[in-house]
Structure 1
Amino acid sequence: MTPLDVPQPLPPAPQAIGPDLAALIACPRCDAVYRAVQPGPGERAVCARCNTVLIAPRRRAGQQLIAVAVAVVVLVVAATLAPFLAIEVAGRSNASSVLDAALAFAAAGPVAMLALAVAALIVFIPVLRALLVIYVLGPVVLDRPPAPHAAAAFRLSEELRPWSMAEIFVIGCAIALVKIADLAQVHFGPAFWMFAALVVLVVVQDGFMCRYSVWKSLER
């Protein structure tokens, strides 16, 4: 690990630090301010106060992120349509997909809004984030000028990150299955395993993403 320079006290006058703002970076967790130093290949720049990774450039990270984003889109679309769970009790069985569960509450008044919110958090937002990553990084990987409004698209993708809750959905389903395991036989459908793979891909995507490098690429 290669930490950034130790934080230096900033001059009180804003105009004194104006020309150097592009060379500064703030820790998103503890707000410590550093002078950015580009790490070498395989190295990382971390916050000396809270050890948050600030800069972690990777070779061919753009291609890897685009590949992961495409996989996320494919998995979410397929998992939405494929059976998620099948429940069998007293000789009767029923299989349901995530889309079926959302449509079941479509005409239920206030509950319909809850169904739409759940569908947005576990389906639409992950897909939108993946599409925004492809839109932003595609021209960068091809050594072309950034796409129109690429900075706004990447900022929106980052703002939506806390609201992408596919992994929360999987954990919630696992807890629910534990509670009903004694009442019925539960069988995992293809969509369940797709969501499990989706959780892994989201973690990989966040691990590969060096947001400092992306912003610098968009500035150039």
Structure 2
Amino acid sequence: MTDLDTLIACPNCDALYTVAEPDAHTRAVCTRCHTVLISPRRNAGLRVIALSSAAVILLIGASLAPFLQINVAGMSNSATIFETALAFTGGPLLLLSLAVTAMIVIVPLVRLLLILYVMIPLVRQKPPARGATGAFRLAESLRPWSMAEIFVIGCAVALVKVADLARIDFGPAFWMFLVLVGIILVQDGMMCRWSIWKALEDSRKS
């Protein structure tokens, strides 16, 4: 019988493989759908913590600072992301407004904090934080619902349509959000989930 600890399943196509940890800077890729399964990197944990910390700061700043200022017919108006998302809190749009706020601010923030909660003790070579396994599982389950990059794409489409009607000035939050999306993409690409699960499991057994 094959030990389950020696198996890894592709998260996309469910293909099973026997684990063979690659060397640093090499990757294990699913032969069926080409999803990256294992991608260990030296000092990746420190980089993930640094990127996650920067993303938390940017996300908080981007939520509170002015995002856009619209000027038309001599009048101007600016709004933060929170003010924009919560502008439609009446009637049937309330649920939509809450969902938008959650997916572009709350869910990404919670996920980043969970990653920091899990990663900091591991990188310091300390025992995992209490509930670290559940916290990392929750962070991974929130990943599809963290839609900061989708929000940026939606803003780009909307700005193209509004550009002919009014003059638009980008606030500091707009640039923060662009940098934030880039950081999150780099962080997700750098984080080897198999290595984190293995570290959590090894700590639990020791």
Q: 1:45 to 1:186 in 2, by over 3 A?
A: same
| Partner Cα distance (1:148, 1:36) in 2 | 27
Runs (5+) with no aligned partner, structure 1: 1-15
| 2:103 maps to 1:121 | yes
What does 1:33-48 align with in structure 2 at a 5 Å threshold?
Answer: 33-48=16-31
| 2:48 maps to 1:65 | yes
| Partner Cα distance (2:20, 2:157) in 1 | 45
Percent identity over the alignment is: 59
Displacement after TM superposition at 1:115 (Å): 1.1
Displacement after TM superposition at 1:109 (Å): 2.6
Displacement after TM superposition at 1:111 (Å): 1.5
Aligned residues: 202
Partner of 1:154: 136
Partner of 2:168: 186
SS in 2 for 1:121: helix
Displacement after TM superposition at 1:103 (Å): 3.3
Letter in 2 for 1:39: P
The equivalent position to 2:58 in structure 1, one of 62, 75, 84, is: 75
Displacement after TM superposition at 1:44 (Å): 0.9
Displacement after TM superposition at 1:32 (Å): 1.5
| Partner Cα distance (1:170, 1:198) in 2 | 10
**RMSD (CA atoms):** 1.0
Partner of 2:152: 170
SS in 1 for 2:76: strand
| 2:172 maps to 1:216 | no
Instruction: Tell me the TM-score normalised to structure 2 length.
Output: 0.95
Q: Which has the larger radius of gyration?
A: 1
| Partner Cα distance (1:51, 1:116) in 2 | 36
Letter in 1 for 2:71: E
| Partner Cα distance (2:64, 2:79) in 1 | 9
| Partner Cα distance (2:18, 2:4) in 1 | 9
| Partner Cα distance (1:83, 1:138) in 2 | 32
Q: 1:103 to 1:52 in 2, by over 3 A?
A: closer
Instruction: Tell me the TM-score normalised to structure 1 length.
Output: 0.89
